[in-house]
Structure 1
Amino acid sequence: MTDVDILSVAFESGGLGDEDLVNQMMTFLIAGHETTVTALTWALYLLAKHANVSKNSAMNCDYLHAVSSEVLRIGAPVSLALRLADSDTSLNGQIVPKGAYIILAPWALTTSTHLWRDDAPVRYETQFEEGSALAKGEMGIQGGATTKPQSGLWNLAVNILFRLERRSFASALAQHRLPVNPCDGMLRTLTNIMKPASKRVPIPKNGVDYRGKIVLAPMVRSGELPSRLLALKYGADLVWGPETVDKAMIGTTRRCNSLTSTIDFTRVSSNGARNPSLGTNQRESIIYRLHPQREGRRLIFQLGTSNPENAVKAAKLVAADVSGIDVNAGCPKPFSTTGGMGAALLRTPDVLCAILRALVREVGEVYEIGISVKMRLLETPEQTEELVRKLCTTGITGLTIHCRTTPMRPRERAIREQLRTIADVCREAGVACLMNGDVVDRDSAIELIKDYGVDGAMIATAAERNPSCFRSKEEGGLASWEEVAREYMKVALEVENRWGNTKFLLSQIMPGKDPKYVKTNQSKSYEEVVQILGFEEELADVAREVDNRLDIKPKETRAERKAKANESARAAGGDTRKAKKQRPTQRMSQPQVNHSQPGVATPEMPLDVSREAGPGSLSEAQAPVLAV
């Protein structure tokens, strides 16, 4: 091998002009960069496997140099190289005429047992022995004008990086469970591995880390159980339930539903309180329903609250069944902000922080789950950053930033310019940062995570229309609306979802121009909608059973009600049409005047009194009427 490098040739020969030198420098930089990345991949892997080598490398510079040289031999950056002979020459007695192409095989040379010991790949000490490649000044890079710069760059990188990050190198690949496959594309992965270990808020035993997750956003109506299960089926990593107000949860009863295998949090409805004679299913309303087996530890309960006391009371009821409690500090709707909840909490940061601290202390630590918060952008970047810093000191494990301000509507473009700053603030505090706003599918979410440095992404509207957006293109991409509707109906029937909610979600999934859309919106039962969508062969029997259990009866039209009334009248021996014409007009004017006795007023007959009623049920003024 030669010790002549490209810079020496440039200065000594005088044969390279400025333009040629610039071109060669780019070649040098690119080649050196590739060499470093490829060799560093092998170095990390081999050092992780051999702890004794790692320790010796840290203590001895010469030994570390030998390690780097041996790595270049074992994992040669260039396996094959094509060269053109610019003059007649010979190689080991073989004549090579001018213009002939020669294929060099550095990898074959560096692994040949004729040149290297059989046990050399893991015995770096052999590099020091007499006659070794290192002793003779030979390296794993096989010659050429860029040899010395490349090998020098590699050795410098190993010395600096390994000494700065030795402890994390030893287990980096094992922790990330990465396969050993050195190639040019390893640069991004290696960059992530070589980052200093950042501070992280500990994830509780029963909690979940939001990092690297693509999740379903909390949505009223669209976040009910069937929607969550369908999102998980298509690849969502975590799912948020709809915002549930603390006062609605407080006072609920936790019930295990054997028919649906769900856990239901129920309470007596206002109608049920007025009618004690109704059955249990009719008297009680389901406030929250979850599926412990199918959602597992992937469900985050979002809480609507405005004070710490109620927040803790409500969260404790559901904490044992979920992986985290998320406080809603971003909903701009009046039903949330009117009570000081949702986005209204952004105007009272001290209250919001108090709520989070109380939840961390009294719920998160007790039940060993994570506490997080979802918020919106404030009026200025400075205000947003200040609030994020405050929230990150409360002990939360995650923060989701909706990239819109409170007045903004979903149709307005998300503001992402502040994302990187927010992500950096969260990272400094060890809090996972999720982004929300105009995220449309898994593939784009992954790109956004890389572009803005956040830890994960949340999909909302796109998942409402088609939950298969959580599936990457490699895994099939977006499914047709017919497939999604079929899968949704299966799940909705399995968990006996509320009919009104099912009908609403179908209207979001189906395209408005489809002929079945209008009919679906007009349907009155599961059985009817299954027929409309053409699923009767598979789901008709189940739909009929669910309709019966939920007491879903098709509502009568006005014409049907009128016909039924006429039938009842005829059965009673009358005709409602004639009765209506002959019905006397009831007057509610001044008391009638008795013309036989001028000036004497006669009280009107009370409209709601029959002659069978006793006088004791009337006022003194009305009682004499019954005696007439």
Structure 2
Amino acid sequence: MKEDTMRGAVGRLCFRNKTILAPMVRVGTLPMRLLALDYGADLVYCEELIDMKMLQCRRVVNEVLDTVDFVAPDERVVFRTCQQEKERVVFQMGGMGAALLSDPDKIEAILSTLVRGVSKPVTCKIRILSSLADTLSLARRIEKTGVAAIAVHGRRKEERPQHPVHCDVIRAVSEALTIPVISNGGSLDCVKTHADITAFCTATGTSSVMLARAAMWNPSIFRQEGALPLEQVMEQYLQYAVRYENHASNTKYCLCQMLRDRLESPLGRQLHAAQTCTEICDVFGQGQFCRETQARMEARRSATQSRSQDPDDLCDDTDVIKMAIKFDRRDYTPQITPKMFLLEWSRREKLAQPLYHTVQRPLDRFFCSTVTVAGLKYRSSVWDKSKKLAEQAAAIVCLRSLGLPEGRLGEQESGLVKKRRREEEGECNGGNDPADATRET
């Protein structure tokens, strides 16, 4: 795990006798945070995010999921939150690495700017330095910036999780400062059960404990009554993952972390083979729940899209087959797109190549594409920021309507798109999607 040197945090920061879940990179997504809160965590951390990435995002109220999303230009959801974690989520900003540890002037400048510029409390997290004197000096400079608390990972930047955590250094920092100090780094050798959280606080002389790996391995560690069986925890996690449309790769990663030394078990091998959200849920007996939830969300999404569509947009569309579809490149096999599948199928059936008609909505400059195949028209009711993505969505609607493969991860090889043909056509089109060469109006 790469440690950042400075993390800005916003949220309800009440540290005395509080435990905090601080999941590692890729783990702090909404489903895991909500699960930890259910089990007794007082505050939860989001994934570590770079400030420039957030500046590029737009804030979107997601009526389908009842969430607030911050969406990147490529349509990837960078941060998602909901009412359930309001005032209990800590937002992390960082610089991916420990370089700032050697530049205390910059640390002080950044934190001072944050404290002046935001209305929420600001905290930061550091690793210990090579000497106790240097660590205390840095901690005192950070305290003077006005931060609400400081978290101390009790390892030096070159030390890894297998190295013992330096509880004595964390205690020295806690005794030297007047602001709350949060101890971190005890997941492997200090915190195994809920009772160990208090013991770690005592050993470090701190007011709070921040957990990453221990909470990731079994979030029910926060239960005062004791941890729950892992199978029950994973099922509850999956239900949140489905409910909030967590990406399948992240869901699989989190479940693999929970299984740990059981990855080679029959259950672990089934999880390893699963690719889609539905397949993952099937492994844990949650397939029916997944399908019912997805169907309910699709219906809600269709209703939301129909309400938001401008009355003058595409009025004459009674002859168009429509679905609420959005193309996400991460769900498809490398170098193959739905447009390529549709093009190859049309050639095999000796049909005219697909004809795409794409329009842009003046209100928000989003696109919607209609593809005509064999005299029938197909369109996604979901408007998209990119013209190419809108065309891919239209191709998916057509393929699904015809019961054809579209190149999703986990699909059996259809033989429609041959590797050599992809390479040859890619060269002819400058390396772009061959299907982008199809005619447009």
CA–CA separation in structure 1 for the residues paired with 2:48 and 2:334: 35
What is the match of residue 433 of structure 1?
Answer: 181
CA shift at 1:355, angstroms?
A: 0.6
**Quick one: which of 41, 53, 74 aligns to 1:236?**
41
CA–CA separation in structure 2 for the residues paired with 1:570 and 1:359: 60
Q: SS state of the match for residue 396, structure 1? A: coil
Counterpart of 1:436, as a letter, is: N
TM-score (norm 2): 0.65
The equivalences for 1:529-544 within 5 A come to 529-543=280-294
Q: 1:451 to 1:545 in 2, by over 3 A?
A: same
What is the match of residue 264 of structure 1?
Answer: 69
What is the match of residue 299 of structure 1?
Answer: 89
CA–CA separation in structure 2 for the residues paired with 1:509 and 1:373: 28
Gaps of 5+ in 2: 1-9, 299-323, 352-414, 430-441
Gaps of 5+ in 1: 1-204, 270-283, 306-335, 338-342, 587-606, 610-628
CA shift at 1:557, angstroms?
A: 11
Q: SS state of the match for residue 167, structure 2? A: coil
CA shift at 1:549, angstroms?
A: 5.9
Q: Is 1:496–2:237 an aligned residue pair?
A: no
Counterpart of 1:393, as a letter, is: K
CA shift at 1:417, angstroms?
A: 2.0
Q: SS state of the match for residue 72, structure 2? A: strand
String of CA shifts for 1:214-252, please: whole Å, max 9, x gaps. Answer: 111142111111111111111111111111100000132
Counterpart of 1:223, as a letter, is: G
**Quick one: which of 111, 115, 123 aligns to 1:372?**
123
What is the match of residue 245 of structure 1?
Answer: 50
String of CA shifts for 1:415-442, please: whole Å, max 9, x gaps. Answer: 212122111112xxx3110100123243
Kept in 2, the 8 Å contact 1:526–1:544? The answer is: no
Q: 1:480 to 1:565 in 2, by over 3 A?
A: farther
- When the two chains are superposed, the root-mean-square deviation of aligned CA atoms in Å is 3.3
TM-score (norm 1): 0.46
CA–CA separation in structure 2 for the residues paired with 1:480 and 1:551: 37
CA–CA separation in structure 2 for the residues paired with 1:543 and 1:517: 24
CA–CA separation in structure 2 for the residues paired with 1:554 and 1:358: 40
The equivalences for 1:27-176 within 5 A come to none
CA shift at 1:519, angstroms?
A: 2.0
CA–CA separation in structure 2 for the residues paired with 1:508 and 1:249: 27
What is the match of residue 288 of structure 1?
Answer: 79
Kept in 2, the 8 Å contact 1:211–1:433? The answer is: no
Counterpart of 2:281, as a letter, is: V
Q: SS state of the match for residue 155, structure 2? A: strand
Kept in 1, the 8 Å contact 2:60–2:68? The answer is: yes
Q: 1:350 to 1:267 in 2, by over 3 A?
A: same
Q: Is 1:454–2:206 an aligned residue pair?
A: yes
Counterpart of 1:513, as a letter, is: E
Counterpart of 1:387, as a letter, is: L
User: What is the aligned residue count?
Assistant: 314
What is the match of residue 389 of structure 1?
Answer: 140
Identity over the aligned pairs, expressed in percent?
31
What is the match of residue 60 of structure 2?
Answer: 255
What is the match of residue 377 of structure 2?
Answer: none
CA shift at 1:550, angstroms?
A: 6.0
The equivalences for 1:172-183 within 5 A come to none
CA–CA separation in structure 1 for the residues paired with 2:278 and 2:115: 46
Q: 1:532 to 1:401 in 2, by over 3 A?
A: same
CA–CA separation in structure 2 for the residues paired with 1:556 and 1:352: 43
The structure whose residues are more often helix, as a share, is 1
Q: SS state of the match for residue 144, structure 2? A: coil
Q: Which has the higher contact order (CA 8 A, sep 6+)?
A: 2
Q: 1:443 to 1:211 in 2, by over 3 A?
A: same
Counterpart of 1:419, as a letter, is: I
